[in-house]
Amino acid sequence: MNLRTAALICICSLLLAGMPAHASLPVALGNGEKLPSLAPMLKQVRPAVVNIATYATVEYANPLLADPFFRRFFDLPVQPRHREKRPQSAGSGVIIDAQAGYVITNHHVIENADSIEVLLTDGRKLEARLLGSDEQVDLALLQVKADNLTAISLADSRELEVGDFVVAVGNPFGLGQTVTSGIVSALGRSGLGINGYEDFIQTDASINPGNSGGALVNLRGELVGINSAILAPAGGNVGIGFAIPTEIVKVVADQLARYGEVRRGMIGVEFQDLTPDLAAAFGLREAEGALIARVVPDSPADKSGLKSGDVVTQANGHPVLGAEDLRKRIGLTPIGQVLDLQILRDGRSRNIEVTVAEPLWLRVPGERLHRRLKGAVFQDVHENGEAVAVEIVDVQPATPAAEAGLRKGDLIIAVNRVRIRSIGEMRERIRRSSSPVLQLQREGRLYFLRLD
């Protein structure tokens, strides 16, 4: 081969390599091998993703027949009010424990629902029981009773990296189960104003209304997140979707299964954002971190050695950019577990471990206990360090709790004539009854209130 021929071959090769690629199927593989496909993985995943429908009971009556003067004039009897179940919302959910029948979904999917129905991929419709929900992280745990359920394996979302391929499975627009794919666009997204505790996986996999509560999985078919929200001016998908990572899902689901709520603890510090002026005053180069302003005496923080003036830069390996980041990390760490903090003190970095403790006074919004208690705030009453009753510490006007006649200062001492001493006992008794009856103590007198 002469030099001229070799040069022509080289030029042709370069031209071919620079030609634009056309969208087409891969070249058929030899030896009967199948084309690359996600179908085998999805066959394992899809039965674990369910559709969720919620219903609200609406009471209605003829407005004329509800008027006592109209009835008296025409000598009409009192007409009963009619109740009707009406569809409220549709979303998705994921079976995370087949034996226990646990289904995880979003709080906003089941919010204010009187009844919840789960539709499996095999066509079965199951009535679901709400075990608990948490608005702050937008997660809820349901339970269904059925055989032959399929659960999904949970991956460690902390191993995700930007650029990893992910697949979203859900029920967008009520069309039925739909699969979309994309990549992890970003990690640790917060400050969006969607939830109280935000640490989202951002993805460009198409997520639309109805996908809420569905699964975000990796290419091994493992759950890495629960699809929660989209960022779109018109409410449709524009390639910016958010999912709650399994690191949070595991913690929240475990607490909802055990207690029916997420019990958030404290470490006993008051903290604030580190401004550029404060950073300069403390001799720091960057204004990133949470500045500890006060340490409560005899608190876990005090016992661990934290001091006023310390700057927290990391919590459990996550960067702390400000006070909100630190609040989030404390709130997402279960009571009794260790929070590993990296701090700056006198210009030197050090690590301090502090155990998250249960707050002395735990306040619970009434809607977490029963829909007719919405607007009231409940708190355990302690004597000698032990809970003895449940007190109503606040009642907002024009709310179901106020309309039911509850007042600030009322003590709940029994549910269905069974003595209760804490919010946990109260919640459990309410769950066991379709029409629980509360026994109240007010100014030395006893009253009964039925919750329908």
Catalytic (active site) residue 318:
no
For residue 385, give the amino acid letter: G
Catalytic (active site) residue 212:
yes
Instruction: Considering the candidates 92, 157, 185, 212, report the single residue annotated as catalytic.
Output: 212
Instruction: Considering the candidates 108, 204, 206, 422, report the single residue annotated as catalytic.
Output: 108
Single out the residue of 210, 217, 206 nearest to residue 165, CA to CA. 217
CA angle, residues 110, 407, 367, in degrees to nearest 5: 10
Single out the residue of 234, 259, 258, 228 nearest to residue 246, CA to CA. 228
CB 291 within 8 A of CB 307: no
Grouping H, G, I as helix, E, B as strand and the rest as coil, residue 246 is helix
Question: Rounded to the nearest 5°, which phi and psi values hold at 116?
Answer: -130, 135
Grouping H, G, I as helix, E, B as strand and the rest as coil, residue 68 is helix
Q: What is the 3-state secondary structure (H, E, C) of 115-139?
A: EEEEECCCCCEEEEEEEEEECCCCE
Instruction: Considering the candidates 134, 138, 204, 380, report the single residue annotated as catalytic.
Output: 138
Single out the residue of 193, 194, 177 nearest to residue 228, CA to CA. 194
Helix (H) or strand (E) holding 257: helix 246-259
Helix, strand, coil content of the chain in percent (nearest 5) = 20, 35, 40
Catalytic (active site) residue 107:
no
Kindly list the catalytic residues: 108, 138, 212
